[in-house]
Chains A and B, each alone.
Chain A
Amino acid sequence: MNINLTLIGQSVTFIAFIWFCMKFVWPALISVMEEREKKIADGLEAADRADKDLELAQKKAGETLTEAKQQAAEIIEQANKRANQIVDEAKDQARAEGDRLKVAAQAEIEQEANRAKEELRAKVATLALAGAEKVLGNTIDANAHNDLVDKLAAEL
Chain B
Amino acid sequence: MASEGQTSTEYIQHHLQNLAYGKLEAGYTRADGSVVTQDTWTIAHSAQEAADMGFWAIHLDTLGWSIALALILGFVFRKAIAGANTGTPKGVQSFVELIVDFVNNTVTDIFHHKNRVIAPMALTIFTWVFMMNLMDLIPVDWLPQVAAAAAGDPHFYFKVVPTTDPNATMGMALTVFALMVFYSITQKGFIGFVKELTMHPFAPPTKGAAIVLAPLMIAINFILETVSLIAKPISLGLRLFGNMYAGEMIFILIALMFGAGALMAGMGFFLQMGWAIFHILVITLQAFVFMVLTIVYMAMAHDVEEH
Chain A residues within 8 Å of B, Cβ to Cβ = 1-11, 13-18, 20-22, 24-26, 28-30, 32-33, 35-36, 39
Residues of A within 8 A of B55 (CB): 3-5
B167 touches A13 (CB 8 A): no
What are 14 A-B residue pairs whose CB atoms fall within 8 Å in the complex?
A2-B57, A3-B166, A4-B54, A5-B22, A6-B171, A9-B58, A10-B168, A21-B124, A24-B78, A25-B81, A25-B123, A29-B84, A29-B97, A30-B100
Residue of B nearest to A35 (CB): B86
B167 touches A4 (CB 8 A): yes
Residues of A within 8 A of B128 (CB): 14, 17
A45 CA / B85 CA spacing, docked (Å): 21
Nearest Cβ on chain A to B94's Cβ, whole angstroms: 11
B116 touches A6 (CB 8 A): no
Nearest Cβ on chain A to B298's Cβ, whole angstroms: 12
Does B62 interact with chain A (Cβ within 8 Å)?
yes
Task: List the 3 shortest-distance A-B pairs measured between CB atoms, nearest first.
Answer: A10-B171, A6-B167, A22-B120
A21 touches B120 (CB 8 A): yes
A6 CA / B53 CA spacing, docked (Å): 13
Q: Is the interface of B mostly helix, strand, loop or mixed?
A: helix
Residue of B nearest to A5 (CB): B58
Does B136 interact with chain A (Cβ within 8 Å)?
no
A29 touches B171 (CB 8 A): no
Nearest Cβ on chain A to B11's Cβ, whole angstroms: 17
Residue of B nearest to A8 (CB): B171
Residue of A nearest to B101 (CB): A33
Q: How large is the interface on B (under 10, 10 to 19, 20 to 34, 35 or more residues)?
A: 35 or more
Does B170 interact with chain A (Cβ within 8 Å)?
yes
Residues of B within 8 A of A39 (CB): 86
Residues of A within 8 A of B70 (CB): 13, 16-17
Residues of B within 8 A of A17 (CB): 70, 73-74, 124, 128
Residues of B within 8 A of A28 (CB): 81, 84
- One of B56, B66, B96, B175 near A5 (C-beta < 8 A): B56
Chain B residues within 8 Å of A, Cβ to Cβ = 16, 18, 20, 22, 50-51, 53-59, 62-63, 66-67, 70, 73-74, 77-78, 80-81, 84-87, 89, 96-97, 100-101, 104, 116-117, 119-121, 123-124, 128, 162, 165-168, 170-172, 174-175
Q: Which of A4, A11, A24, A36 lies at the interface centre, i.e. has the most chain B CB atoms within 10 A of its CB?
A: A4
A24 touches B77 (CB 8 A): yes
- Contact A32-B85, Cβ < 8 Å, known A4-B167, A13-B70: yes
Residue of B nearest to A10 (CB): B171
Residues of B within 8 A of A9 (CB): 58, 63, 167, 171
- Contact A14-B124, Cβ < 8 Å, known A7-B174, A30-B104: yes
Nearest Cβ on chain A to B84's Cβ, whole angstroms: 4
- One of A10, A20, A24, A35 near B167 (C-beta < 8 A): A10
Residue of B nearest to A20 (CB): B74
- One of B22, B78, B85, B89 near A4 (C-beta < 8 A): B22
Residue of A nearest to B17 (CB): A1
B123 touches A26 (CB 8 A): yes
Residues of A within 8 A of B16 (CB): 1
Nearest Cβ on chain A to B181's Cβ, whole angstroms: 14
Residue of A nearest to B57 (CB): A4
- One of A2, A11, A26, A29 near B175 (C-beta < 8 A): A11
A4 touches B53 (CB 8 A): yes
Residues of A within 8 A of B101 (CB): 33
A2 touches B50 (CB 8 A): yes
A39 CA / B88 CA spacing, docked (Å): 11
